[in-house]
Amino acid sequence: MISSRQNIDWKAVFDPFSIVYIIAGVLCAAAALQIFMLPNKFLDGGVTGIAIIVNLQYGIDINLLLVLINIPFLWLGWKKIGKTFAVQSTFSVFLLVIVLEFFKFPAITSDLVLSAVFGGILMGLGIGLIIRGGGLIDGFEVITEFVQKNSPLSASEITVFLNSLIMLFAAIFFGIEPAMYSILTYFTAIKMTDYVVEGFEEYTALTIISREHEKVKELIVKEFGKAISVYKGERGYLPETFHIKHPCDIIMTVVTRLEVHRMKEAIQQIDPKAFFYVQTIKEVKGGVIKRVGKKHS
């Protein structure tokens, strides 16, 4: 975690790419709210969801609510995460308020399913772009990280619990059907945010244990153009021959999800009894993971 004593990195705050990401994200989020969500009483999770509930139920201006509800979370981000993050998040929140106040996007459909799905897509796109720009428009992400440090619950469990409460209040105030559409909007937004932040090209760690490990290493590096890591291990220990074991190299490589099947098929041509296990990974940096290897025939 970034120390709260760290000075503000003004170079990062005024980075042109960060500003473009934040502006584009705010426009998407504002469009999602005005075109799809507010006219149909659909909610997103977090601070935005709370603000929509209070606005629709009590008539309090949503712009005022977005600022007031986010203030304690921004302060917590300043103290616990980092001053640069807090400045960028504050800029994001106030820019969203300005856009909602002075720009009006007209509703374009009355279809509830379309509104839920495309509202979620636009909101998720907006949140993802803002995160890539270094900020946030939803302070719930801050409290989730803070509570996680002091709780046995994971971040996802805390997020689901808090947003379940918001959806419960939506059902109480607006009825079951709007709450169900809100859940659809919320989960669409989550998935879209993940795509924008992590990329559409998901990476996979493929681990191979094979008696033909030298040939497998040569195949992965020379034919597919991938880097490998090798661990020394042992294979064997089968139930009927537990006392029999053999030294082997355990090979791990990082590939895209589109390459996994092709690589497994190629390895099985070398060793039909090769053992694989696959793990999804969130982020990779460096190495030669993006290099396009030869097409293996």
pLDDT in tens, 41-83: 898 888 899 999 999 889 999 999 999 999 998 898 888 778 8
Q: pTM for this structure?
A: 0.72
Cβ–Cβ under 8 Å, residues 21 and 101: no
Distance CA 262, CA 259 (A): 5
Q: Rounded to whole angstroms, how far apart are CA atoms 73 and 54?
A: 18
Task: Give dist(CA 32, CA 44) in Å, integer.
Answer: 10
pLDDT at 3 over 60: no
With bands split at pLDDT 50, 70 and 90, how would you rate the model's confidence at 201? low
pLDDT-derived band at 25 (thresholds 50, 70, 90) equals: very high
Cα separations in angstroms, 212 against 47, 219, 249, 255 = 55, 11, 9, 20
Assign 20 a pLDDT band (cuts: 50, 70, 90): very high
Q: 122-155, pLDDT tens digit by residue?
A: 999 999 999 889 888 887 777 766 666 666 666 6
Alpha helices in the chain (DSSP H): 10-13, 16-31, 46-58, 62-80, 83-102, 112-132, 140-149, 155-174, 176-198, 213-218, 257-270
